[in-house]
Chains A and B, each alone.
Chain A
């Protein structure tokens, strides 16, 4: 690390490199007290990921990128510029809002095209945590459903796990998987593949191109860490070889998570998907706790006895333990009841006490 060698700097001076002026340390006498704060070092991979992220990020700023490259070789590219402009005009048919399908975007086209699904899935770390905690599927909420619409006597239909094989999002995940496994993406994409993708983009209709442009813009505007997570996740899903079952575990977790968010209204879903891994897990824990409660614990009459506590009241009976298990219970069991390490945060979560406490309202 190359910190400036100077110690306390000169107050009133502008350079801090002065020699014998009156030296005033902004920290004064507490500098020594703070000596236990040690300098840290970045991981070895940070440089490469930073360079990659900056390269990807600057991809969506064609004007900016071309400006610096244009100066020294402007004359050489004059003719090529005309050709490119013609191509751009062709691509910008009608009122298409697409920006130039920049080469970098083409490199990441499978990711950009399936950005929605990947954003929802989040990151490898998040999915690993979901897999590890082994959340049960959400139950259908009975809002608006008349009592006669339920089946099975005192067991309401909403107790059934939500299975969503025909769910659009479910199908999109499969399509995403196919697309990511189909070909390479990122800097290693061969030129021939880039050309093929360029042609593919050219053949898109206006609506599809507009959607792609929106996705590319959204991809560019993601925070760096989020973009990094998505590219990492796409690489994990795109790796067809799965000898250790990691891919299947990630997919199962993605599907489980999708089931949870699919029940939210669109605005809420958007807000939940925008959360980072830690907050998503917190959200999921909260709703999973809610999920394991009996919906109408007061009995068939709906009135309940003295112990009835209304919506979300007493805990379910033990016979339902298998289905209504507490989130993460399986993982804890596998770990001998010990605290379960949190893959997303690296922290260790406390196990039973707070997870079995019913959450407020």
Chain B
């Protein structure tokens, strides 16, 4: 049976051989997945699209070195994680110029506003509509550290195992387990309290350094 991973690896081998159409197919096959991953990682759609394009560029540049010994998804997830890390470093450097990272702060502000409404007690969690819950979940996700967030999103959207997450993030499996354990705890505290009481957990929002 041909899995989507096999399809991607096949396409990548064709890209390696200079097949431009294969690269286009690869982009089509992966762009939604990458945009989803980056959207929930950064909280901004245009940044997510930029990052997805950056990943495809890196894939193309690295095509000569691609070997189908590892799963293609692990390979591209590694590239995606590196692209996200680079973005983080650029944002850090930009802050040295005294300019706050407005994208994330603005989206965060909206989230907080919505959470404030949701947490006002006027509407308990059971009656909260999907959009409110979504914003609370987004806020909870954004309160995680970058590594925790990436690990959670790889597990959630890419159905990665501990080993695959470890390979993509260049961490050991125990480190990933620890990372996810803490992330789960933090998310559980935030989301369960919201679902139960319609009130945002006071522990949420701290994140890890």
Contacts and interface: CB of A to CB of B under 8 A. Distances in A.
Interface string B165-198: 1000000000010001000100110011001000
Given A1-B32, A26-B162, A51 B27 contact: yes
Contacts of B130: 36
Contacts of B3: 4, 17
B145 interface: no
Contact of B137 (A15, A37, A228, A283): A37
A67 B72 CA distance: 23
A4 B158 contact: yes
Nearest to B44: A345
Contacts of B159: 3-4, 6-9, 16
Contacts of A68: 16-18, 63-64
Contact of A279 (B61, B94, B187): B94
Interface stretch (B95-103, B115-123, B200-208): B95-103
A58 B60 contact: yes
Interface string A15-46: 11100000011111111011011111111001
Contacts of B32: 1, 39-42
Given A39-B157, A40-B39, A275-B94, A224 B137 contact: no
A334 B157 CA distance: 45
Contacts of B52: 42, 46, 50
A57 interface: yes
Nearest to A271: B97
A155 interface: no
B163 A224 contact: no
B141 A37 contact: yes
Given A13-B161, A26-B165, A29-B188, A37 B50 contact: no
B162 A4 contact: no
B31 interface: yes
Contacts of B49: 42-43, 46
A264 interface: no
A26 B180 CA distance: 7
A224 B162 contact: no
A68 B65 CA distance: 12
A345 B106 contact: yes
Contacts of B39: 40
B80 interface: no
Contacts of A228: 53
Contacts of B63: 68
B155 interface: yes
A283 B50 CA distance: 23
B187 A57 contact: no
Interface in A37-79: 37-43, 46-47, 49-51, 53-54, 57-58, 61, 64, 67-69
Nearest to B190: A33
Contacts of A51: 20, 23-24, 27
Interface string B101-144: 01100100000000000000000000000100110011001000
Contacts of A29: 184, 188
A79 to B, nearest CB: 22
A28 B184 contact: yes
A34 to B, nearest CB: 5
Q: Considering residues A14, A34, A58, A225, which has the most beta carbons from chain B within 10 angstroms of its beta carbon? A: A34
Interface in A166-187: none
A224 B161 contact: no
B18 A53 contact: no
B9 interface: no
Contacts of A4: 3-5, 73, 158-159
Given A11-B162, A37-B40, A46 B53 contact: yes
A10 interface: yes
B56 A54 contact: yes
B152 interface: yes
Given A40-B45, A68-B64, A11 B161 contact: yes
Contact of B102 (A10, A17, A50, A278): A278
B40 A53 contact: no
Contact of A9 (B61, B141, B161): B161
Contacts of B100: 282
Interface in A312-361: 345, 347
Interface string B2-37: 011100000000001110100110011101111110
Given A24-B162, A26-B161, 9 more contacts: A26-B155, A27-B180, A34-B187, A39-B32, A42-B31, A50-B52, A224-B53, A345-B102, A345-B106
Pairs A-B, 10 closest by C-beta atoms? A9-B161, A225-B50, A26-B155, A1-B32, A42-B31, A33-B191, A42-B35, A279-B99, A40-B36, A36-B134
6 contacts: A4-B159, A11-B163, A26-B160, A37-B134, A37-B157, A347-B106
